[in-house]
Structure 1
Amino acid sequence: MSNTIQTSRDDLARDRTAQDEQSRYSDAALTPPVDVIEDESGITLYADLPGVSRDKLNLHVEAATLTIEAESALAVPQDLKTSHTEVGLGRFRRVFTLSKELDTQGVTAELGQGVLKLRIPKAAHAQPRRIDIHVA
């Protein structure tokens, strides 16, 4: 009888470990690589999001925080059975703290060929401007 009890305990422990692992991976997300280019009128971010479609992309700005969240829609053949997977996550998440010099109301976004392009202009008070000189 003790063998049966031990086997049941082992099965239960394995099930808990599998559930913990599944829960950990369901919350996990990849951090997409991002290039940031600044010019005098603002910044442009290029984020690599392979396999992400427009409907699976969520961008939002709250206060001075920009959040990029996405899910890839890469189709996996139904009969595919893997014995080892290097990258099994299809979720992406990246958070940025934005400078007060940026105009978060003017953010524009484009998605094409797995690359997200975000343009964030500088606020009017942060834009370079020429000061006219008057002769007295």
Structure 2
Amino acid sequence: MNDKTELAKKADANVQPAMKQTEAAIRPAVDIFEDESGITLLADMPGISKDRLNIKVEADVLTIEGDAEIPMPEGMEPLYADIRANHYQRSFTLSSEMDTEKIEANLKNGVLSLRIPKREEHKPRKIEVQVG
């Protein structure tokens, strides 16, 4: 019985550091809109600049990461901050109907906008009816 308890303790010790890393990341608030040609994703990421932002797609997972930069006046140190972390991270599983090769990204005023179009074969198309 003690061996199992020791193994459980070791497993918990290995899991906790990974959990702390996850807790340190901020999950940005995201709105997702779908229309017939694709989806638009809007993520609130204040303090993020283009050079501190990383967007990638691996297999069918879209990952957004970035480090916010909170400017401090020279010679000042923060005594208190509402934000405990400055690393944003969020992942989404994309449907196979999305064309990940044509994702467009735009960053403006701390809002990241991603446009992910549907593959041509998944877009609705109108069928012309022949008479006669």
TM-score, normalisation: structure 1: 0.76
In structure 1, what is the equivalent of residue 34 of structure 2? 38
What's the counterpart of residue 76 of structure 2? Answer: 79
What is the alpha-carbon distance in structure 2 between the residues aligned to residue 131 and residue 98 of structure 1? 28
Structure 2: unaligned runs, 5 residues or longer: 1-15
Indicate the structure (1 or 2) with the bigger Cα radius of gyration.
1
> CA deviation digits over 1:29-85, x for unaligned, max 9?
100000000011100000001010000000001111000000001113443241x44
The separation in 2 between residues aligned to 1:61 and 1:70, in whole angstroms, is 15
Q: CA deviation at 1:25?
A: 5.7
- Distance between the aligned counterparts of 2:61 and 2:22, measured in 1? 24
Task: Give the Cα separation in 1 of the matches to 2:69 and 2:76.
Answer: 17
How high is the sequence identity, in percent, across the aligned residues? 45
Matched residue count: 114
Q: Which runs of 4+ in 1 moved over 3 A?
A: 24-27
Report what 1:91 is aligned to. Answer: 87
Taking the TM superposition and a 5 Å limit, the aligned residue runs for 1:96-111 are 96-111=92-107
RMSD (Å), alpha carbons: 2.1
Measure how far apart 1:27 and its partner are: 7.3
Q: Distance in 2 between matches of 1:35 and 1:65?
A: 17
- 1:126 deviates by 1.0
Q: Name stretches of at least 5 consecutive residues in structure 1 with no aligned partner.
A: 1-19
In the other structure, the counterpart of 1:65 is: 61
2:122 equivalent to 1:130: no
Measure the CA separation in 1 of the matches of 2:22 and 2:89: 13
Match of 1:55, SS state, is helix
